[in-house]
Structure formats: C-alpha cells, structure tokens
Amino acid sequence: MEANIDQNVLDKANSWLSGAYDEETKKAVRDMMENNPQELTESFYRDLEFGTGGLRGIMGAGSNRMNKYTVGMATQGFSNYLKTNFPDKNQISVVIAHDSRNNSQFFTQVTANIFSSNGIKVYLFDDLRPTPELSFAIRHLKCQGGIMITASHNPKEYNGYKAYWEDGGQLISPHDKNVIAEVEKIDGVADLDFSGNSALIETIGKEVDEVYLAKVKALSLSPEIINRQKDFSIVYTPLHGTGITLVPDSLKNFGFANVHITEQQAIPDGNFPTVKSPNPEEPAALELAIAQATDLGADLVMATDPDGDRVGIAVRNGNDFVLLNGNQAASLLINYLLTKWSEKGKLTGKEFIVKTIVTSELLFDLAEKYGVQHYDVLTGFKYIADIIKHFEGEKTFIGGGEESYGYLVGDFVRDKDAVISCSMIAETAAWAADRGSSMYEMLKDLYVEFGFYKEKLVSIVRTGKAGAEEIKKIMDNFRIHPPKTMGNSKVVRIKDYQTSTNHNLENGTTTAIDLPKSNVLQFFTENGYKVSVRPSGTEPKIKFYFGIKGELKRKKDFDKVNAHLEAQIEEIIRELKLN
C-alpha cells in the first residue's frame, strides 16, 4: 500500500504516529495507511489554509482536516500573533461563537482552552449564535479578535474556523498571512496546552443578544409601513442552523406579526436531515418552506444558512413562488435603502455602498441615480468590511452585498448578516405591498429603468488533491488561451487580479488594478457582457460568473427577454465548454 503514497504524505502521516497525538487519532491514521491510501493522501497532502472564509475542511484526522490539533495549532498561532500586535494591552480578549454543526461545540471548547492557556481572556457564547453576532460582539466588548466555529453552508462533513480582528471583520492581509506564518513556526502539537484556564473564560449570552437586536431594530426606515402591513405573511426557515436564535425575534421586533417557522427545519442539527445541502443558494433547500408558504398563502419565504450570515428568498408571483438570486435580492434591498434615505433627506454626498467585483452592476446604477458613492472589492465580505473600516468617521456606509446571498445594512456588524438582511428584506417586501406592488414587480420596474441584468453562476466541483490540480490547470489555460469572443461578441478587455493588470485589447494598453492580488480573471465584451472566473476560497470548486444585459421596454415582455438572455448565457457556456 505504502508504495502508492507520495513520500511527503507518508512522512507527514508518520510524524502524527510518532508525535504527541491521542491514541484515537493515531488509530485513524494507521487505518488510513493500511486500508485507504487515497484518504491518507487527501488528509495529509497539505495543511489547511485561510481562504476567503478562513479555515475550512472535512472533519477527521490529518493536517488537511478539521480536528482538535489543526484547530489548536491555528489558535496557538493566532494567540502568538495577538500578543505580538498588542504588547501593551494589559488583558487581550477574544469572543468565540459556534454554529449547529457536528463537533462545533467541541472545537469551540478547544479554542477557548488554547486561548485561555495563553493568558487571553475569552468571552464564550452560552450556546450557538449567528456569525454576525460574533462580529458585533468583538466591537461591543472591545476585544482584539474573535473566532466563529462554522463551515457556513458546506455539506455536513465539513467544519471550519473563521478568524476575526478587532474591527469585527475577518482577517485580511497582512494579518491572515501572518497568522499562518505564526502557525508554521510552532514546533508541534506538544507545544499546545489544551487544559485551559477557566478563570479567563466568561460566558455571555442574552445580554449581548438584547443590545444587538436593538441595533438591528434601529435600522428600520419604515415602521409606519410595517404597522400598516404587520399581517404581511412570511415563512422563515433556519435550515437547522443558528438563525432560529435571532431571526424570529428580530422580525417580531420590527413589527411583523404573521411569521411562520418551518418547524421541520427549526431544530439545530449538524446532520441537516431535511436537505441535501444547507445552502440557501440551492433551490432544493427552500422546498419545504415554499410548500408551507403555498399552503398558507404567504408572500415571502426566507432561508438562512447554518451560521446565519446568508439568506435566500422566494417571492410570490401570482399563485407561484419565484426564487430570487443574490444579485436580484441585493438590488431590491439597495434600491429600498437608497429610496428611503433620499425621501428622508439623509443623503449628504458622503454616503456609499459596496459590492464585490462579481456582483451585479445594477447596484452601481442605483447608487449613481441617487448620487451615492460606490466601491468594488474582491470576493469575500472581509473586503467590504475593510472599506467600511477605511472610511469610518469620514463617510457613511448605507449597505452592500455580494451575489452569494450575503448582505449588510449599517456598520455595527462587519460581516454579512442574515439577521439584519431578513429584517430589512421583509421591510422591503412590506414597502412594496404598501405601494400595491410586490418585490417581483419592483424587480421588473428596475429592469425597465436600468436595463435587464441577467446573471448566472456555474460551479465545477473538483475535490481533493487531483481536483485542486485540475482547477489550477483550468485557470492557467484561461490565462494562456483567453477566449477571443463570447456570445458572438468580441472580448475587448481582460482583468487579471493575480497580476493586477487591466488589458485593453482594443488599443493595446495595460493599466493597474488597485485591489489586492487574487486568483480571478474577468473578460469583458464589446456589447457589455462580463464573465468572471475564480477558484472558490472555501469549497473544492471553480466558479464562473456570467453577467449580461438586455433591454426591457415593457414589463409584459419580461419572460420573453429573460428567455432570450438565458439563451445567450447558455451559448457562452457552450463556447467555454462548461456543459
């Protein structure tokens, strides 16, 4: 068996057999060496790294797996880095929270023990909480960092570790790379102290919830409308995750009195028994809630992912429900915010919104209509948080979002927030109803005014070591042999964020991209198409984002134009051989 295993993998596995690991872990490694060389390779061919969402991986024994040792090493490295950065701080402190996943509570305790053994004070939530409340608590409690134990919307085999800085945002450069460097300096797991210091661990809970929910309620722009529309019917599902702890309470605080919970999915459960994947981007995840809404005659369906930072929605269209993608939901939310800020005379010229480079340009059209500044950032909400931090005290952040169903309103949280988003999306829907319209009809109105923006995401999954190599080859091929045309339209511009270059193919000029380097390619055609390609930072897949635009002169032509644009995207997909 060993002859089929890469020597580096074998060496690393043997180091776990001879190191200070518990017997259960060593037994698991021996079993892989004797019976499953492929699993051994997947478990040891690399170390888990921080991507756009932090540390994330399949649970199990090995350096490329989520376990007490990889979590412990990450926490020790983070502890060392915090001490280096805050040498004059009398008491460095962090907040830790976790989601409903299997082993999340265990990893939380491991993390708390490592931090406290390093003399760092830990504020530990008494039970599962959404990621955005963790972000809020860091600033609220004036901590220097925080950890959220979660793998977001990944399948049940995964868990993860999101690391946050004192501003409440996830680690970005140079902190993310520096923490990794600190982890790499650690000689081995024998240096880890799992015993903990209970005197430095303080339990927190309801008192933080109350402050957070009050701040969410203060974001409401139309309490009088909600009062008129308080019976607006909503179905909400937390998909077995943390949303159940705060979303229903927040909707109640806003004044919504007709909220129905999908009870089969209301119990936190890391096995996610009622869904194939707890991902609100996937239509199947909303099926139970939509069926319930159909029976009840409800108008809005909302589903949050396990750690409560992303939300998927379905809106009524006659007798049916239509799933809105992240670009559409973000556009409707931003349109509502900007309209209300304008009506209330709150726009002074110092307000701004932020989106990611793969998110719909419709958000910028809306910002320009109201004279609001707008910024593009790399994929990953930590970059939106960084812009908010950069302009703190100078400009006011109204809202922002990304196509992957993550949105934020206000700046007291520094990550995408499904508790805020559910509350403000419900308010947007009530506003539409109060005007005798609906979210779906308002979306059509936006397309008539600004153009029909049609977006589509295609993900190609390639797992393990071989998959990572294949994804790299795909990206290399697009760089070496970029498409010359897409959808019968000439490619006129290529942005390569890895080399920070913007190539104008029409005049042969190259300009710099003023964003951090990232493995992303974007192709633009002469008729306005945009195709973005990037490997996921949190999942074993490569993502293709398609964005095209057409004209919608009359709302009654919506289905016809939609079908035409869909056909154009499918043609580009065929051209790129992604079928």
| Digit-coded pLDDT (tens) for 46-62 | 988 765 556 899 999 99
pLDDT tens column, 468-502: 999 999 999 999 999 999 988 999 999 999 999 99
Q: Which CATH superfamily is domain 212-222+230-450 in?
A: Alpha-D-Glucose-1,6-Bisphosphate, subunit A, domain 3 (3.40.120.10)
Reported as a pLDDT band with limits 50, 70 and 90, residue 4 is confident
For residue 48, the model assigns a pLDDT of: 82
- Rounded to the nearest integer, the mean pLDDT of the chain is 95
Domain boundaries, the chain: 1-44, 46-204, 212-222+230-450, 452-575
**Residues 261/288, Cβ–Cβ less than 8 Å:** no
Residues designated catalytic: 152
1-5, 182-186, 310-314, 477-481: range with lowest mean pLDDT: 1-5
Share of residues in the chain with pLDDT > 70 (%): 99
Taken in order 224, 227, 232, 233, the sign of the CA dihedral is positive
pLDDT confidence band for 465 (50 / 70 / 90): confident
pLDDT at 53: 58
Half-sphere exposure of 439 (CA within 13 A, CB side): 28
pLDDT of residue 1: 45
Percent of the chain with pLDDT over 90: 91
Please give the helix or strand (H or E) that residue 434 lies within, else none: helix 418-434
What average pLDDT does range 56-83 have in this prediction? Answer: 95
The H-or-E segment that residue 172 falls in is: none
As its CATH architecture, domain 452-575 has: 2-Layer Sandwich (3.30)
The answer to which of 48-62, 339-353, 416-430 has the lowest mean pLDDT is 48-62
Q: Give the tens place of pLDDT for each residue, 119-146.
A: 999 999 999 999 999 999 999 999 999 9
Question: Using an 8 Å Cβ cutoff, are 304 and 239 in contact?
Answer: yes
Domain 452-575 in the same topology as domain 46-204:
no
**Which superfamily does 46-204 belong to?**
Alpha-D-Glucose-1,6-Bisphosphate, subunit A, domain 3 (3.40.120.10)
Q: pTM of the prediction? A: 0.95
**Is the separation of the CB atoms in 477 and 489 below 8 Å?**
no
Q: Rounded mean pLDDT of 544-572?
A: 96
- Residue scoring higher pLDDT (384 or 5): 384
Distances (CA, A) of 9 to 16, 48, 59, 464, 499: 11, 14, 18, 14, 31
